[in-house]
């Protein structure tokens, strides 16, 4: 049974780059009929905020991602404590007393000597008397995981055969002086406890994987790690990384800007892959194209301007069923709602513009009468019939014959009178929705 997790730390709003990771996991789980866990990495009690956790759930829901399970690391400390104790008992987690300054000086000396700046394991060599003396000075230990000097290999589900020399890494600190946990240990403990089968995340975590595989080996009876996949990170068109702080590409920001969630999904998933970016009508459709093997090794640059255009193109193709509820939210419902949607969708750039068009067909508008005589002639020729999608061509053919007008001179004054707007959806489709009574009323409105 496939089980994946998306593990944001709730220290800010998520952005489109985070959505990429979330979608990769979610679409992967859907494909394998597996489970998607939302795990809040909130062991940093100072920076993590419940309101951010809730906002992340709202953002994911807007994108169409509903987790099967939500867990918070802040409620699972007992598990991490137990794991830390077992590592200590196995001699794999050892105390160190250096200050950040001391470590920094040591690193600089190593670099000056041309040696790799790796932690020298001084903590491991301390006698218990030395430890006692350091603690008597008021020092508190931090705790490092003792890495084995091995080549760590894994078959990355995105990048293929991968390896890292664990010997080239410093023993990682798992527990800080103030006894708080860094991300590494809780992440592995939870992946084990929750039965995660695939860890799919950004390539900024590749190095962590070497460490984490060793932790999985140390903490599980069968010494097995899940499968790993590391995807390229989204950057702006100019190659800048996205950050939770920058805000502009936050999911909330995009929602407020009226961008369609499906357009965000498509750009988040297909940028930097061998599949071309194209609008889809549903996440299922996106899931059919999505394949971790298509994700490229190179950069995943995306253009914000593309988002606007893709969002509009997404709207143009959305089936009525998909938007029925959203339209109902704007009080656009009833037997005419579907015909209305099909008439106007191709003209929208944002869903927010839709109530405006509903008013054109259902409500009151301010007709614009440029040429009252012409409108009167047109009114006289308005067919006396139940309007359908042929009415417009029949009517305008008759006006053309009577007035000799053609092109813009023929059509534009009619558009202004009937809709009060300079441009918009096809009148052939709008006219039956407006209906004869309203159309006649608008054509005979007083001219300006």
Which residues of this chain interact with ligand GLU, rule CB under 6 A? 7-9, 41, 183, 187, 199, 201, 205
Q: How far is the CB of 113 from ligand GLU (least distance, A)?
A: 33
* Tokens coding 340: 């209305």
| Inter-CA distances, 288 with 30, 115, 270, 430, Å | 10, 50, 12, 35
What's the rounded Cα separation, in Å, for the pair 420 and 404? Answer: 24
Residue with token string 């055969």: 161
> Which residues have CB under 8 Å from 433's CB, separation 6+?
336, 339, 340, 343, 361
Residue 13 beta carbon to ligand GLU: minimum distance, rounded to whole angstroms = 13
Give the nearest distance from C-beta 291 to ligand GLU in angstroms. Answer: 20
Q: In the bound complex, what is the minimum distance in angstroms from residue 72's beta carbon to ligand GLU?
A: 12
Measured from the CB atom, is 208 or 347 closer to ligand GLU?
A: 208
Give CA–CA dist 421/412, Å, rounded. 10
Residue 134 or 196: the one with the smaller Cβ distance to ligand GLU is 196
Q: Which is nearer to ligand GLU, 15 or 142 (CB)?
A: 15
DSSP string, 84-101: HHHHHHTT-EEEE---HH
- Cβ proximity of 239 and 299 under 8 Å: yes
Among 241, 179, 183, 165, smallest CA distance to 48 is for 183
Closest to ligand GLU by CB, 201 or 345: 201
Name the minimum Å distance from CB 7 to ligand GLU: 4
Report the residue number, 9 or 419, with the smaller CB distance to ligand GLU: 9
Toward ligand GLU, which CB reaches closer, 17 or 367? 17
Instruction: Determine contact, residues 420/396, Cβ cutoff 8 Å.
Output: no
Q: CB 138: neighbour CB atoms within 10 A? A: 6
């Amino acid at each position: 049974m496939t089980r994946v997790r998306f593990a944001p730390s709730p220290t800010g709003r998520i952005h489109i780059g985070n959505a990429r990771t979330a979608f990769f996991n979610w679409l992967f789980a859907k494909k394998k009929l597996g489970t998607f866990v939302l795990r809040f990495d909130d062991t940093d009690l100072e920076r993590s905020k419940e309101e951010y956790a809730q906002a992340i759930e709202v953002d994911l829901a807007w994108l169409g991602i509903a987790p099967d399970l939500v867990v918070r690391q802040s409620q699972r400390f007992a598990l991490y404590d137990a794991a830390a104790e077992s590592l200590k008992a196995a001699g794999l987690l050892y105390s160190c007393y250096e200050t950040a300054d001391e470590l920094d000086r040591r690193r600089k000396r190593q670099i000056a000597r041309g040696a790799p700046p790796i932690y020298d394991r001084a903590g491991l060599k301390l006698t218990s008397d030395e430890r006692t003396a350091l603690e008597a000075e008021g020092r508190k230990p931090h705790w490092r995981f003792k890495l084995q000097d091995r080549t760590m290999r894994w078959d990355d589900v995105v990048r293929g055969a991968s390896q890292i020399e664990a010997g080239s890494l410093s023993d990682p600190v798992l527990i800080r002086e103030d006894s708080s946990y860094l991300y590494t240990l809780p992440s592995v403990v939870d992946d084990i406890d929750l039965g995660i089968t695939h860890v799919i995340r950004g390539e900024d975590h590749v190095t962590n994987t070497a460490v984490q595989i060793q932790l999985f080996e140390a903490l599980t009876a069968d010494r097995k790690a899940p499968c790993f996949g590391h995807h390229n990170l989204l950057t702006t068109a100019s190659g800048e990384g996205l950050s939770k702080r920058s805000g502009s590409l936050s999911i909330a920001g995009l929602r407020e800007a009226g961008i369609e969630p499906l357009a965000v999904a498509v750009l988040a998933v297909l940028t930097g892959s061998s599949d071309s970016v194209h609008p889809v009508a549903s996440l299922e459709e996106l899931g059919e194209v999505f394949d971790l093997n298509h994700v490229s090794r190179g950069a995943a640059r995306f253009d914000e301007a593309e988002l606007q255009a893709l969002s509009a193109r997404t709207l143009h193709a959305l089936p009525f069923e998909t938007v029925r509820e959203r339209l109902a939210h704007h009080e656009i419902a009833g037997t005419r709602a579907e015909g209305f949607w099909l008439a106007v969708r191709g003209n929208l750039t944002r869903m927010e513009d839709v109530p405006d068009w509903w008013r054109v067909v259902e409500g009151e508008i301010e007709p614009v009468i440029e040429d009252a005589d012409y409108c009167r002639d047109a009114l006289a020729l308005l067919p006396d019939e139940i309007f359908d999608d042929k009415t417009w061509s029949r009517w305008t053919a008759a006006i053309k014959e009577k007035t000799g007008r053609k092109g813009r001179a023929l059509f534009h004054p009619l558009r202004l009178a009937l809709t009060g707007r300079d441009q918009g959806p096809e009148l052939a489709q709008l006219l039956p929705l407006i209906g004869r009574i309203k159309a006649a009323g608008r054509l005979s409105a007083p001219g300006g």
